[in-house]
Amino acid sequence: MATVLDPPNAQAFRNATLLVQMQTAAETKAARQTETITNEYTQKIDSVNLEADRWTALEDDIAQVSSRLDGTVGRLEAIRKKLDTLIQTVNKAAQSTEETPNYAGYATTFDSFLRSLDSSADGGYDRPNLLGRSEPTLEYYTTIHGATARVSGAYVGTGYQLDQTDGNGLWLPDLSARSLTKYLEYPGDPTTTSASFASGLQLDSINGDEVTFTVGADTASPETITANLTRKGLGVLNAWYYDGLATEDGRALALSELNDAKQALDLEISRYELAQTVASFYQDRATTTLEGFRKETNDLLLEQAAAIGKAQEELNRSFQAATSNVALALSSRNNYNTLFTPFLSDRITAIFTNLTV
């Protein structure tokens, strides 16, 4: 029996070295095959991820559009409530039980709510402000291949312009100052001529879009002007246009135009709700596409693991078969040497029996 004190056996050392070399070669081959398989699947996964990244960016962009459209619907609903408040103000003026109703107070309240409505539409919101005077168009991508969808803006504030029929200028409202200001041309600098809603501005007649009004009606030198009316936005004017809410005809006209404005606003609400639904559809489609990419990536990772496992299993079988063959050869050699031991003193015989496997 061999012990640690026995001298080294050269043949045993060579046998052990051979097995180590075989194992090292097998491990190297396994590492190379694993690297090859990994590189192949990494390219596939990277390609999928690159496409997924583009859809992720698209999904984020559409989500922002959807959120903005949803917010726009909310703003429109708030403006609608302000129209209801304007209607209530007109009705309060009509239902006043005071002996001398304060129509000037109702007119001031009306104009204040009208200014608030206009600020809600034209205020400092996200750009583009779809409800503002500039009436921009919101365009966004619906796919990564360049297809787009558009939502056209529409001004839902209140604005108007009175162009003198004699061509000698035009008048624009200043909602904050509650006055009409004259311009020789617009855009351009205003003149020093203006008329306050509270006093001195008098509606004389309305004939379609032709309006006759008097500036400085309470002064010694009133001026009567005939102008063509151009409406903007919802088309509701200040209280002076409705006789300061002091007459039944004026209040009836105000209610008629306010209800028309509500109908127009309801159409805008429906339009933006539809636009938001469309944006949500494209967002959901992008989300579904991304889920498909994630599944594809997971499937590729599973395929990669299976391919590596299969390759390693095949290499392991090959290695086991090779080591078994070597072990069998070594065993046969030992038996061969044992058989010829009596003759090993013969140099010729020894040469033929000293075989290296």
CA distance 51 to 59: 12
Weakest-pLDDT range from 72-86, 224-238, 242-256, 286-300: 286-300
Contacts of 144 (CB under 8 A, 6+ apart): 51, 54, 55, 58
The residue type found at 231 is R
Weakest-pLDDT range from 32-46, 76-90, 234-248, 261-275: 32-46
CA distance 156 to 215: 28
Overall pTM > 0.75: no
Check residue 357 and give its pLDDT.
Answer: 47
| Start-to-end Cα distance in the chain | 24
- Strand ranges for the chain from DSSP E: 137-141, 148-152, 158-164, 170-174, 179-183, 190-196, 201-207, 210-215, 223-233
Check residue 38 and give its pLDDT.
Answer: 72
Torsion angle of the four alpha carbons 253, 255, 259, 265, in this order, in degrees rounded to the nearest 10:
90
Weakest-pLDDT range from 36-50, 139-153, 155-169, 274-288: 36-50
Check residue 17 and give its pLDDT.
Answer: 73
Q: How far is CA 328 from the centre of its chain?
A: 70
Weakest-pLDDT range from 17-31, 71-85, 114-128, 171-185: 17-31
CA distance 319 to 330: 16
CA distance 101 to 60: 56
CA distance 187 to 43: 60
The closest alpha carbon to 46, from 292, 287, 296, 289, belongs to 296
- DSSP characters over 297-316: HHHHHHHHHHHHHHHHHHHH
User: pLDDT tens-digit profile of 261-299?
Assistant: 999 999 999 999 999 999 999 999 988 888 876 776 666
Assess whether pLDDT exceeds 70 at residue 93: yes
CA distance 245 to 253: 9
| Residue ranges of domains in the chain, CATH in brackets | 19-157+244-357 (1.20.1330.10), 158-233 (2.30.29)
